[in-house]
Amino acid sequence: MLWTAAKEAGSPANWEHYLDQVRIIANQKEHGLLEAIIANYKAKNAYAEVADFAGFLQDSFQQLDELNKEVDRVQSRATRNQSTYLTWDHMDVYFATSMRKAWEYKDLYEFIERLMTSDEVKELDLRYFDPTQAFTDNRVNKGLVEALMLKRARCTVYSVQDTDTLGKDSELASTLAQGKPVIAYVPDLDPTERAEQLLSEDPVTVLERWRFVLSADGQLVQRLSDEEYDTVGRVQNELNKFSGQRIWSSIRDDDAIRLLREVIGQDLERFCQLIARSEKAVYDTRANTLSGIHPLAIQVNLETGVANGVLVVRTIPDCASLLRRVLLAEMDFTVVEEDGMWHLRERISGCTYRVVTNDRKLNNCFWNFYLR
């Protein structure tokens, strides 16, 4: 529409005439977005004319067209991958996760790559469902595919992220309800390393991660010192401005990013450190919740009535060791009587794998009625 309006406006054309053409071509709901694109371009190019903007649009079309072609190629390959997953005669591992943000795809892919290429796992030549490598354009079909993978896989590796979601939590519960092991990987973050990683991200991604930790860490704001609070305010203002002034959200503007970092360099570093510390606090809390607090971390096998627990690990080497033991039936346990329960504890994770209550009435009623 912007390109068509430029042609309709003719040459030479002033901005007022051009905006009139845009409003004629577009419907009322589209006016705000189109005018914002024009305003952002003019803000970065103070002396530009409509003809200059038309040239910019032409260059943008080429970049956007390349992105569209890349998306088509990736989706086509992922669709073929999913067809392969569907026709495998067995499945060893299912990876449960949530992928709503770009960084969640990236983080999960890197985790799976590091885990499955580790020495302890690689030699097993496992078949595993990697959701970052499969594509379905229909939510019902996607749910059916994942249900089938969960049913067929021998175990689930649950990747704990910034927030809980219905999808991955139901996958955890479904696996336990089948009596299969669930390994929950909760990263044990190094805040210094994590802050450096965040600094290399696109500033808009950093802002999104800040919003995530704000929602996940209810005590974050209360922990801030006055100086940190002021830093957060300054950085948020600049990041919001940067986000609002982008012309295309899908095309990275390295020059704009460089200028932003020159303006808020040290503040941005401190901001990333705050996010990193908060992410560590969130992950530590989630690990504690899964391993010792939340009652639904214990699920009953629907066929046998046996209570099964989640196995929580904090490092990829521990995850690899435990996954190998699960699949080779080489798990090692201790029996502990604690809090009126008999716990079968897995040694690597230290978590309850099976549990039996010492409550005589509950035990009696449970086994009298559960398997009827």
Say if residue 108's pLDDT is above 80: yes
Residue 6 pLDDT: 84
pTM of the model: 0.87
pLDDT score for 301: 93
Domain residue extents for the chain = 2-76, 90-330
Beta strands, E only, 31-144: 91-96, 128-129
Q: Render pLDDT for 290-334 as a digit per residue (tens, 0 to 9).
A: 887 776 678 899 999 999 999 999 999 999 999 999 999 999 999
Instruction: Please check whether residue 21 is in contact with residue 9, taking contact to mean a CB–CB distance below 8 angstroms.
Output: yes
Q: How many residues does the chain have?
A: 372
The CA–CA distances, whole Å, from 116 to 92, 108, 356 equal: 12, 12, 33
Helix, strand, coil abundance in the chain, percent, nearest 5: 65, 10, 25
Instruction: Assess whether pLDDT exceeds 80 at residue 162.
Output: no
* Dist CA 146 CA 94 (whole Å): 9
Residue 349 near residue 360 (C-beta atoms within 8 A): no
pLDDT confidence bin for 217, thresholds 50/70/90 = confident
Contacts 24+ apart (CB under 8 A), 335-339: none
Predicted pLDDT of residue 156: 95
- What pLDDT digit, counting tens, does each position of 173-202 carry? 899 999 999 999 999 999 999 999 999 999
What burial letters (b/e) apply to 71-84, b meaning 16+ CB within 10 Å? eeeeeeebeebbee
Nearest CA among 129, 53, 45 for reference residue 85 = 129
Q: What is the pLDDT of residues 134-153, one digit of tens each?
A: 999 898 999 899 999 999 99
Q: What are the distances in angstroms from CA 142 to CA 86, 88, 135, 167?
A: 12, 17, 8, 11
In terms of pLDDT, which residue wins out, 313 or 286?
Answer: 313
